[in-house]
Structure 1
Amino acid sequence: MKLFRQGWLKLAVFLLDVGGVYTSYLLAYQLKFSGRIPADEWASFLGYAPWLGLLTAVTYYFFNLYDFAGRRKPALLLYNLVLAHLLFVAELVVVNYWLKTFSLPRSVVAAAFVAQVLFTFVLRLLLFYIQAKGSGRRKALVIVSGHSSDLLMLDKLRQTGAPWLEITRVITVATITESEVSRQTGIDWREAEVLIIGHGVPEEIRSECIREAGERQMEVLLIPGFYELYLVKAEAQQIDDLLVYSIMPPHPTFPERLFKRGLDILCSSLLLILTSPLLLAMLLLIPATSKGGALYVQERVGQLGKPFRLLKFRSMIDKAEQSTGPVLAGEGDHRITPLGRMIRATRIDELPQLFNVLSGQMSLVGPRPERAFFIEQFKEELPYYTYRLMVKPGLTGLAQVMAGYTTTPADKLRYDLMYMKNYSLLLDLKILFQTLLVVLSREQARGVKQDVEDKKRPEPAWAAAGESSPQRGRLQTGNGIRTVKSGGTTDEKQMEST
Structure 2
Amino acid sequence: MVQEERFSKTKKVVIGVMDILLLHFSMLLSFYLKFGNAVPDRNYETYTNSFVFIVLTFIFLNILFGVYILYNKSMTDFLYITIIIQVILTLAIMAVTFAGRWFAFPRSVLIINLVVSTLVLFIWRVVVYKIYEKFSGSKKVMVVGFEEDVKSAVFNFENSKSKRHKVTLAVLSNYSENVAAHLEEVDIVYLASKIKDQEKTKVYELLMQSDKKLFLNTSFENLIMVNPNIMNIEDESIIEVSQFKIPSEDDAIKRIVDILFSLVLIIITSPIMLITALLVKATSKGPALYKQVRITQEGSEFNILKFRTMSATAEKESGPVLATSNDARVTSIGKYLRALRIDELPQLINVLLGEMSMVGPRPERPFFVDQFKEQNPYYYLRHNVRAGITGYAQVYGKYATDFNSKLNFDLLYIKKYSLLLDIKIMLQTIKILFDKVSSKGLDEEAELGGNHSISSNIKILN
Q: TM-score, normalised by structure 1?
A: 0.84
In 2, the alpha carbon distance for the partners of 1:166 and 1:226 equals 26
> Is 1:404–1:445's contact at 8 Å kept on the other side of the alignment?
no
Task: Give the secondary structure class of the aligned counterpart of 1:292.
Answer: coil
Shift of 1:445: 2.2
Count residues with an aligned counterpart: 459
In 2, the alpha carbon distance for the partners of 1:238 and 1:143 equals 35
In 2, the alpha carbon distance for the partners of 1:161 and 1:58 equals 25
> Is 2:339–2:441's contact at 8 Å kept on the other side of the alignment?
no
1:417 aligns to what? 411
Superposition pairs of residues 150-299 of structure 1, within 5 angstroms = 150-160=150-160, 163-173=163-173, 176=174, 178=176, 180-181=177-178, 184=180, 187-299=181-293
Shift of 1:169: 1.9
In 2, the alpha carbon distance for the partners of 1:99 and 1:195 equals 54
In 2, the alpha carbon distance for the partners of 1:106 and 1:289 equals 40
In 1, the alpha carbon distance for the partners of 2:375 and 2:205 equals 29
In 2, the alpha carbon distance for the partners of 1:161 and 1:364 equals 27
Farther-moved stretch of structure 1 (330-339 vs 91-100): 91-100
Farther-moved stretch of structure 1 (327-336 vs 125-134): 125-134
Which of residues 52, 57, 64 in structure 2 aligns to 1:50?
52
AA of the residue aligned to 2:190: I
In 2, the alpha carbon distance for the partners of 1:240 and 1:408 equals 46
> Is 1:406–1:447's contact at 8 Å kept on the other side of the alignment?
no
1:282/1:202 CA distance change after superposition, 3 Å? farther
Task: Give the secondary structure class of the aligned counterpart of 1:275.
Answer: helix
1:445/1:150 CA distance change after superposition, 3 Å? farther
1:197/1:4 CA distance change after superposition, 3 Å? farther
Runs of 4+ in 1 over 6 A off after TM superposition: none
2:130 aligns to what? 129
Deviations 1:319-347 (A, max 9, x none): 21221222111121101111110111111
1:354/1:202 CA distance change after superposition, 3 Å? farther
In 2, the alpha carbon distance for the partners of 1:112 and 1:456 equals 44
> Is 2:229–2:240's contact at 8 Å kept on the other side of the alignment?
yes
> Is 2:189–2:213's contact at 8 Å kept on the other side of the alignment?
yes
Which of residues 31, 37, 40 in structure 2 aligns to 1:38?
40
In 2, the alpha carbon distance for the partners of 1:425 and 1:138 equals 34
AA of the residue aligned to 2:69: D
AA of the residue aligned to 2:152: L
AA of the residue aligned to 1:23: F
In 2, the alpha carbon distance for the partners of 1:343 and 1:161 equals 27
Unpaired runs of 5+ in structure 2? none
* Percentage identity across paired residues of the two chains: 31
AA of the residue aligned to 1:99: G
Deviations 1:429-464 (A, max 9, x none): 11111111123433202269xxx94x361322x45x
In 1, the alpha carbon distance for the partners of 2:150 and 2:368 equals 22
In 1, the alpha carbon distance for the partners of 2:140 and 2:434 equals 35
Q: CA RMSD in A?
A: 2.7
Task: Give the secondary structure class of the aligned counterpart of 1:323.
Answer: coil
Which of residues 53, 61, 64 in structure 1 aligns to 2:63?
61
1:428 aligns to what? 422
1:466 aligns to what? none
AA of the residue aligned to 2:246: P
Q: TM-score, normalised by structure 2?
A: 0.91
Deviations 1:54-111 (A, max 9, x none): 221222222222334x432222122111111111112222223323323233443244
1:4/1:394 CA distance change after superposition, 3 Å? farther
Matched, 1:318 2:312: yes
Shift of 1:6: 4.7
Matched, 1:457 2:459: no
> Is 2:357–2:386's contact at 8 Å kept on the other side of the alignment?
yes
Unpaired runs of 5+ in structure 1? 464-471, 474-484, 487-492
Which of residues 19, 22, 27 in structure 1 aligns to 2:21?
19
Shift of 1:161: 6.3
> Is 1:140–1:169's contact at 8 Å kept on the other side of the alignment?
yes
1:375/1:5 CA distance change after superposition, 3 Å? farther
In 1, the alpha carbon distance for the partners of 2:342 and 2:247 equals 32
Matched, 1:343 2:344: no
AA of the residue aligned to 1:215: Q
1:480 aligns to what? none
Shift of 1:373: 1.8
Task: Give the secondary structure class of the aligned counterpart of 2:305.
Answer: strand
